[in-house]
Structure 1
Amino acid sequence: MFALPPILYSIPRNPITAVGLPVFFGMLSGSPTSKEVQGTWYKSLKFPPGRVPDQVFPVMWAILYTGMGYASYVALKSYDSATISETAASNISKGLAIYYGQLALNCGWSSLFFVKKRVGLALLDSIAITASSACMTVLFHKATDGATTYFLAPYCAWLCYATYINASVWYLNRGRKVTGED
């Protein structure tokens, strides 16, 4: 059976740390964003139709990080169940490994897009986050009889939307000379 280091199982066993971890890292990775969206570079970008106002993003991410964290807690409650099958336990372990990986990718996205102004690399990162989160959702879904899906499906949908925005910004602004400075 696939297994992670014990500490990576311990964090989601407590609902406070399960939710706190992604919310903390989300806030940390998003902290430079508020300054950057006021800068010349960001304000000069062309955006696609259907983009929500900038103020919606931090609220949505906070809600989605909370749901993602709680889903990890629900998955670990199932993992710790005496009646869980070996296949379900393995799916949860694999799902948790992907969970931590996609969380790390998600933390890097803001730096790539806003700080380094590497929209194309941010797009690749966004695609990886979306794909890994979909895989994690499927693994958790199978192992928890869908209990985690209520918390992860909105996250996956938002990631698809965020990837659309990122891809559109990349496409609409391709060929534009970016120095990385405002």
Structure 2
Amino acid sequence: MLEIYLPAILLEIPRNIVTAIGLPLCLGILSGSGTAKVVKSNWYKASTSYVFAKASLIISKDLHGPPGRPPRQVFPIVWPLLYLSMGYVSHLAVNALDATSSPSTRSDVKLGIALYYAQLAMNFIWSPLFFNGKKLGLALIDSVVLAGTTFYMTKLLDGPTKSQSTYLLLPYCAWLTFATYLNGGIWWLNRGRTPEKD
């Protein structure tokens, strides 16, 4: 059985529902706001609200995109809802950890919480990689690892949270799959092209 050490603060944050939900929302705002300069550039056109602009691009003549892109207005609605649900899942996970004395369940929940923080970090760096760095391939790798991490986290937290976390994370898993398709399509269709530098 793998023993995961989590600093106390990483367990205290999700114990409070406000900080549990607030952390991913704040990180989403911070990550998205760092793309403001790129949003104003000619590299692509994005929605006027860049705060939750993860992949919210309308492909211009400078960057080709795959079919099936939703309207740009979808992204600033979807991402905050996903951040709220993932924050609430962290709250459920810590409650499950506090409620059990089973070593195997505690191990699974601790690993799930560690993966939660790992996926938050990967989610946070995606926008700077894709928008600011214009590193489409690195952003794609980040997206694939982020999706895999989130799927495994969902599996680990299913039993201890009596499937509540799974119902809350399934939309996130589906959206990450779709976002990875978009990122992969953009990378594939633009391979060999050098994005304009600001």
Q: Shorter-chain TM-score: which interval?
A: over 0.9
Aligned to 2:7: 5
**Which ranges of structure 1 fall in alignment gaps of 5 or more residues?**
none
Matched, 1:55 2:67: no
Hey, what does 1:73 align to over in structure 2? Answer: 91
**Higher-helix-fraction structure:** 1
RMSD in angstroms over aligned alpha carbons? 1.4
The CA distance in 2 between the partners of 1:36 and 1:105, in whole Å, is: 20
3-state SS of 1:165 partner: helix
CA distance in structure 2 between the partners assigned to 1:38 and 1:56 by the alignment: 20
User: 1:163 — aligned with what?
Assistant: 180
Q: Which segment is superposed worse, 147-156 or 41-50?
A: 41-50
SS at match of 1:41: coil
Identity %: 49
Residue aligning to 2:118: 101
Q: Which residue number in structure 1 is paired with residue 108 of structure 2?
A: 91
| Alignment-derived partner of residue 174 in structure 1 | 191
Looking at structure 1, the residues matched to 138 and 164 of structure 2 have their Cα atoms a distance apart, in angstroms, of 34
Determine whether 1:31 maps to 2:33: yes
Q: 4+ runs of 1 displaced by more than 4 Å?
A: none
- Uncovered stretches (5+) of structure 2, i.e. residues with no partner: 45-59
> Does the Cα contact within 8 Å between 1:95 and 1:140 map onto a contact in 2?
yes
Give yes or no for contact 2:43–2:196 (8 Å, CA) kept in 1: no
Of residues 116, 122, 127, the one that matches 2:144 is: 127
1:166 aligned partner, one-letter code: N
Indicate the larger mover: 13-22 or 144-153: 144-153
Q: CA deviation at 1:84?
A: 4.5
Q: Distance in 2 between matches of 1:28 and 1:55?
A: 19
Task: Quote how far apart the aligned CAs of 1:166 are.
Answer: 0.1
User: The residue matched to 2:160 in structure 1 has which SS?
Assistant: helix
Map of 2:169 onto structure 1: 152
* Count of residues in correspondence between the two structures: 180
